[in-house]
Chains A and B, each alone.
Chain A
Amino acid sequence: MKIMVAVKRVVDYAVKIRIKPDKSGVETQNVKMSMNPFCEIALEEALKIKESGLAKEVVAVTMGPSNCVDTLRTGLAMGADRGIHVEAARDLVPLSVAKVLKKLVEVENPGLLILGKQAIDDDCNQTGQMIAALLGWPQGTFASKVVLDKEKQVATVDREVDGGLETLCLDLPAVITTDLRLNQPRYATLPNIMKAKSKPIKRYTPEELNVEIKSGLEVVQVTEPPKRKAGVILSSVDELIDKLKNEAHVI
């Protein structure tokens, strides 16, 4: 079985982000970029499944400008066998990503598609669900545990939901999106980094795949949340009532 993992290049989780002066977006120049943490977890899960003998190959996929190849290299250094890079302009919305992934799935025929539950730059949490709908495949999102059964061709997924944990049984092929507690991603060891240099990366463009990636959404403005004001210490209950009535307008 082949596993396909979609990974995204985002601003590093630990960086303090700043808004561009023209409010068109977040400053990404000279800022450390890395693989989305949830995508790392997705890749780790795929590698674990391969190491347990239930899969033969792990393919990492990314979409975006040419510097996205760095993320693929990280994925290959962690242990993925092949990489696919779809060259596209910077801001791809989840629906476009899902459409491209659909075409790639038709080319590669994986038995399992694993993604991170959301990207930390847009927090959309949509791509996994959309691609499952486009493909007509079952989906297990917010996975905190995945167990594969090869004979019965099912995946048992524990999902983290508001009320607790929900266990689903999905017929393969299926889409799984990973949540934080699924696993702890491995470090990229030097021997693997060395091996990664010779692993193939295939390049596509959206035109080659016959996908229309024009987005119906336009980002109008990006602003910081209002700065938190300091608290005020009041001296009496009367003052409190006065402020609640006249300043906060809640009574």
Chain B
Amino acid sequence: MEKWRATSNLRRSLKSILNRQLSSVSEFRYLNEKRSCQSSFNLIRDCKSLGQVNAIQHRCFSSASTLVQRNPSFSTLNSDDISYFKGLLGEKSVIQDEDRLETVNTDWMHKYKGSSKLLLLPRSTEEVAQILRYCNSRCLAVVPQGGNTGLVGGSVPVFDEVIVNVSSMNNIISFDKVSGILVCEAGCILENLISFLDNQGFIMPLDLGAKGSCQIGGNVSTNAGGLRLVRYGSLHGNVLGLEAVLANGDVLDMLGTLRKDNTGYDLKHLFIGSEGSLGIVTKVSILTPPKLSSVNIAFLACNDYSSCQKLLMEAKRKLGEILSAFEFLDTEAMNLVLHQLDGVRNPLPASMHNFYILIETTGSDESYNREKLEAFLLSSMEGGLISDGVLAQDINQASSFWRIREGVPEALMKAGAVYKYDLSLPVEKMYDLVDDMRIRLGDLATVVGYGHLGDGNLHLNVSAPEYDDKILEQIEPYVYEWTSKHRGSISAEHGLGLMKADKIYYSKSTETVQTMASIKKLLDPNGILNPYKVLPHSLNS
């Protein structure tokens, strides 16, 4: 009897000890999570303590590695890994040469530089799957890379992540001339796809200044916007299917070519815009619109921003279905382009105007469309919305207008240091931000505003001869708070990458971000895919 009581006592006491252990463990975890949420909130709320935020931003800007610590759970490359990759891919596709690594470690803006020691160039989905399966088992971090033209540091390593570059996977798999559905590998360069489709009488539904280097896999992974979004919509609508490889090497074949398919959850949308953090896109199936023969383009000048807005409303109403692009530049952007780039001519040399608008129409009937555009332009001129303008008479003139608008990012790079912001704002308020920034910065820097007015997307750029923290502290977090106050997006099309990984709360609620983190944990438990980016660092444990 004594023994039994003793054992039951023991059991009871063990149980209570266990319970206490468990509760304390869960409490600890809960507290930890709560604390991490709090800390990121404090970053935002404590904007008054500019010094603290300032210090973090400064380090974040020049080299993220000082703020972000390398995750100790990631392994380091060893010679066995290299031999494995060489055996899997062949010597030519395993690059350790320092010069080549230098290029792939640095982003297009020369703002972010990683220290990866290994570049892999797989040539098929199977090779990508095997690479990821191996890296997942070894807990090696991986950066998926395409054309490396991203503007938020999402395409280059932060530390020594292995770079998996899909440029060698550049085959066009099939093209259906009747439906216009193109199936191709992720490494196809956008401009090459555009030329291929041109011969078939079709066009890509997206077009951006980086088309000569950017690849379709990257475009899809970042949900690229571009110049034609106002007409053809976003990639979420145009991508019919894709094939992606998950972190553990599983291949998700969702490469459908069907316009309509309501069978289950449409997972491809998770990959479109997740910036390589949920899987590596290896093939894309995209719906391409037919190439219409009549393209007309006008370059116009407006006196003030409210005329630009009214012009947009009128254009949408009067040009309707033939409107294919509506872009704007302010006078600083125009000046910059004329000074910095060669072979660029001002179409309106008579005087410098405050705002320049580029309108493009695309339709099937040349004379009908031209008349429609001319009538619209003439009535806008009579109504005082436009103060001057020119209409391109041939394709050469049309290209020269696009050169001006597409050349702004290049001109900004040549002018020295540039702080780039890509914001979605209500159209009425968009230019108020540019005016505010001009007042804040005064003589410190030149503020340039341009962008896709048709989509409500402002590219706010601050140009200065050199990077300077005094300039940065006037810009951040003011720009983000301003945007958040007007319920805008702090990243309209460029994505979050490394640059805005901690800024997501300005545009998304805590619960939403929490759910995103759960999905990331589900699809990539070891967190090896493009770490330190997209979601706030505090959530990636």
Given A13-B394, A30-B293, A35-B394, also A189-B388 (CB < 8 A): yes
Contact A15 B388 (CB under 8 A): no
Contact B393 A194 (CB under 8 A): no
Query: Does B347 sit at the interface, judged by CB under 8 A?
Result: yes
Query: Does A34 sit at the interface, judged by CB under 8 A?
Result: yes
With a 10 A CB-CB cut-off, give which of B294, B298, B377, B390 has the most chain A CB atoms.
B390
Contact A189 B390 (CB under 8 A): yes
Contact B390 A12 (CB under 8 A): no
Contact B293 A31 (CB under 8 A): yes
- Partner of A35 from B299, B300, B347, B393 at Cβ < 8 Å: B393
Contact B386 A13 (CB under 8 A): no
Instruction: Name A's interface SS.
Output: mixed
Binds A, one of B6-14, B274-282, B395-403, B489-497: B395-403
Q: A35: which B residues are within 8 A, CB to CB? A: 393-394
Q: A187: which B residues are within 8 A, CB to CB? A: 299, 347, 390-393, 397
Cβ < 8 Å to A, chain B residues 195-216? 198-199
Closest Cβ of chain B to A242, distance in Å, is 31
Query: Does A188 sit at the interface, judged by CB under 8 A?
Result: yes
Contact B395 A194 (CB under 8 A): no
Contact A190 B396 (CB under 8 A): no
Closest Cβ of chain B to A36, distance in Å, is 10
Cβ < 8 Å to B, chain A residues 39-81? 40, 70, 74, 77-78
Total count of chain B residues near the partner, CB < 8 A: 29
Closest Cβ of chain A to B513, distance in Å, is 47
Whole-angstrom distance between the alpha carbons of A188 and B294 in the complex? 18
Q: Return the CB mask of B345-379 against A: 1 if under 8 Å, else 0.
A: 10110000000000000000011000000100110
Interface residues on A, range: 20 to 34
Closest Cβ of chain A to B351, distance in Å, is 13
Contact B378 A194 (CB under 8 A): yes
With a 10 A CB-CB cut-off, give which of B298, B300, B374 has the most chain A CB atoms.
B374
Q: A34: which B residues are within 8 A, CB to CB? A: 393-395
| Closest A residue by C-beta to B394 | A34
| Closest B residue by C-beta to A194 | B378
Closest Cβ of chain B to A12, distance in Å, is 5
Given A32-B293, A190-B378, also A16-B198 (CB < 8 A): yes
Q: A37: which B residues are within 8 A, CB to CB? A: 394, 396
Query: Does A184 sit at the interface, judged by CB under 8 A?
Result: yes
Query: Does B227 sit at the interface, judged by CB under 8 A?
Result: no
Q: B390: which A residues are within 8 A, CB to CB? A: 187-190
Whole-angstrom distance between the alpha carbons of A118 and B345 in the complex? 26
With a 10 A CB-CB cut-off, give which of B293, B298, B394 has the most chain A CB atoms.
B394
Q: Return the CB mask of A134-162 against B: 1 if under 8 Å, else 0.
A: 00000000000000000000000000000
Whole-angstrom distance between the alpha carbons of A191 and B345 in the complex? 20
Contact A13 B389 (CB under 8 A): no
Contact B395 A32 (CB under 8 A): yes
Q: B199: which A residues are within 8 A, CB to CB? A: 16
Closest Cβ of chain B to A73, distance in Å, is 9
| Closest A residue by C-beta to B370 | A70
Whole-angstrom distance between the alpha carbons of A16 and B378 in the complex? 32
Q: A15: which B residues are within 8 A, CB to CB? A: 395
Query: Does A193 sit at the interface, judged by CB under 8 A?
Result: yes
- Partner of B391 from A14, A70, A190 at Cβ < 8 Å: A190
Query: Does B295 sit at the interface, judged by CB under 8 A?
Result: yes
Q: B348: which A residues are within 8 A, CB to CB? A: 189
Q: A40: which B residues are within 8 A, CB to CB? A: 393
Contact B293 A70 (CB under 8 A): no
Q: B394: which A residues are within 8 A, CB to CB? A: 12-14, 32, 34-35, 37
With a 10 A CB-CB cut-off, give which of A16, A30, A187 has the most chain B CB atoms.
A187
Contact B397 A70 (CB under 8 A): no
Contact A190 B377 (CB under 8 A): yes
Contact A13 B395 (CB under 8 A): yes
Contact B378 A193 (CB under 8 A): yes
Contact A74 B293 (CB under 8 A): no
Query: Does B479 sit at the interface, judged by CB under 8 A?
Result: no
Query: Does B445 sit at the interface, judged by CB under 8 A?
Result: no
Query: Does B319 sit at the interface, judged by CB under 8 A?
Result: no
Q: Return the CB mask of A186-220 against B: 1 if under 8 Å, else 0.
A: 01111101100000000000000000000000000
Query: Does B68 sit at the interface, judged by CB under 8 A?
Result: no
| Closest B residue by C-beta to A34 | B394
Q: Return the CB mask of A1-41 against B: 1 if under 8 Å, else 0.
A: 00000000000111110000000000000111011010010
Closest Cβ of chain B to A131, distance in Å, is 25
Contact A190 B386 (CB under 8 A): yes
Q: A32: which B residues are within 8 A, CB to CB? A: 293-295, 366, 394-395
Q: A16: which B residues are within 8 A, CB to CB? A: 198-199
| Closest B residue by C-beta to A18 | B199
Contact A70 B395 (CB under 8 A): no
Whole-angstrom distance between the alpha carbons of A40 and B391 in the complex? 15
Query: Does B194 sit at the interface, judged by CB under 8 A?
Result: no
Whole-angstrom distance between the alpha carbons of A187 and B390 in the complex? 6
| Closest B residue by C-beta to A16 | B198
Q: B294: which A residues are within 8 A, CB to CB? A: 32
Task: List 7 tightest A-B contacts by C-beta distance, closest first.
Answer: A34-B394, A14-B395, A187-B390, A190-B389, A30-B293, A12-B395, A74-B393
Q: Can you give 15 contacting A-B residue pairs, CB < 8 Å? A: A14-B394, A14-B395, A34-B393, A34-B394, A40-B393, A77-B393, A187-B392, A187-B397, A188-B390, A188-B391, A188-B393, A190-B377, A190-B381, A193-B377, A194-B378
Starting from the known contacts A32-B394, A77-B391, 14 additional A-B residue pairs (CB-CB under 8 Å) come to A12-B394, A12-B395, A13-B396, A14-B395, A30-B293, A31-B293, A35-B393, A70-B367, A77-B393, A187-B299, A187-B347, A189-B390, A190-B388, A190-B390
